[in-house]
Structure 1
Amino acid sequence: MSDIPKPSVTGVVESIDSEPHLVLRRTFASSAKKVWRDLTDSDRLSRWIGHWKGDPAEGHVSFQMTAEGDNVPPETFTIRECDKPRRFVADTQQGGGTWHLWFELREDDGETTLTFGQRLNPNEDVGSIGPGWEYYLDRLVVARQGGDVDAVEWDAYYPALRAGYQKQVAAG
């Protein structure tokens, strides 16, 4: 039985290489190798966010989100860095711009901390981006616990967390 995480603002806007990034963290009682599989294996990804097709060795894959309905078109993810099981970086086209996404895994004393980030482009709405990543990462938590990811309800994240994320940007 898994616990459904309580939706909350856990992400922060940090300056990385002089650019703003939305950074979120989750900790798992597991090895980095196992968490890596949940973040990169297409079948395991499909449990909580979507799946990919293609050959990553070619430097790109076609990724289709499945948690947002049946008619979501696939996106091309260009793989910039893949250092198994520690760091992954990719870019994708989103709404006329490019999203630069990354994650890092750090294992310590049987626990692995996932640090997930997205570089924020000028004028992007962190008030919708932040709740979205909270939702998906909480689905990952539930999937890893063997729970029902559909019990994680989008309406509990957005617009509920929107103002909390907008305050961060206004304060920064």
Structure 2
Amino acid sequence: MTTPDERLGQVTELPEGVRLQFRRSWPDPIDDVWAALTEPDRMVRWIGTYAGERRPGGAGTFTMTHEETPVGEPMRIVECAAPRRLVVDWQTEEGWRVELDLTAEDGQTVLLFTQLFAPGTQVTDYVLGWHWYLDKLDAEVGGRPAPGDWDDFLATTGRAYGRTPSGG
């Protein structure tokens, strides 16, 4: 299982943009982690819903239902190689691409979450948001308690990213 320090997102400035990566691991089988990432009844418990075609090239609407004001956004499945790799594009102004890669390492299932932002993007809020959602995924996969509400999460985790509950 991932330790608290290992749970932090890693931000790297690259010529093509700002890369955010998280690495999480569980003793659970890769198929179980994949199911938590992709099956509707499990996805809704940690992140939201997807209504649309579930295949490479498929398009639909993704709604992050745990947001203060959930909004459905167009999404396209770029790659899907179950149970190892899922790449999706949010078809919004920012043009987000998220890559989810699962591997088996030393009896653990390891998730590598990667998102590349445009050069110069201030990513702290995105890092915190994804950290919170990945903690919710950890609770879904491992059967542990989910992180508290956003304010509680920010109070306990925000400092690791230079953010305090008052926004400082």
TM, length-normalised to structure 2: 0.80
Cα deviation, 1:24-48, whole Å, max 9, x if unaligned, reads 1111111111101101111110011
Query: How many residues are treated as equivalent by the alignment?
Result: 160
- Closer/same/farther in 2, CA of residues 165 and 98 from structure 1, 3 Å limit: farther
Could you say if the C-alpha distance between residues 110 and 144 of structure 1 is closer, same or farther in structure 2, counting changes exceeding 3 Å? same
Q: Determine helix, strand or coil for the equivalent of 1:128.
A: helix
Task: Determine which of 131, 148, 152 is the counterpart of 2:148.
Answer: 152
Superposed displacement of residue 93, structure 1: 3.4
Shift of 1:14: 3.3
State the partner residue of 2:99. 102
CA RMSD across the alignment: 2.8
Q: Is the 8 A contact 1:132 1:157 kept in 2?
A: no
Q: Deviations over 1:82-102 (max 9, x none)?
A: 1111111111034x3111111
How many percent identity over aligned positions? 32
Q: Which runs of 5+ in 1 are unaligned?
A: 168-172
Q: 1:88 aligns with which of 80, 83, 86?
A: 86
Q: 1:7 offset after TM fit, Å? A: 9.2
Choose between structure 1 and 2 for higher RCO, CA contacts under 8 A separated by at least 6 residues.
Answer: 1
Gaps of 5+ in 2: 164-168
The one of 126, 129, 132 equivalent to 2:129 is 132
The structural deviation recorded for 1:125 is 2.4
Q: What's the CA shift for 1:134?
A: 0.6
| Paired residues of 2:48 and 2:66 also in contact (CA < 8 A) | yes
Q: How does 1:7-156 map to 2 (within 5 A)?
A: 10-14=8-12, 18-57=16-55, 59-69=58-68, 71-94=69-92, 96-149=93-146, 151-156=147-152
Shifted more, 119-128 versus 29-38: the winner is 119-128
Residues 77 and 90 in structure 1, CA contact (< 8 A), matched pair in contact too: yes
**Counterpart in the other structure of 2:166:** none
Once residues 152 and 143 of structure 1 are traced to their aligned partners in structure 2, the CA distance between those partners, rounded to angstroms, is 14
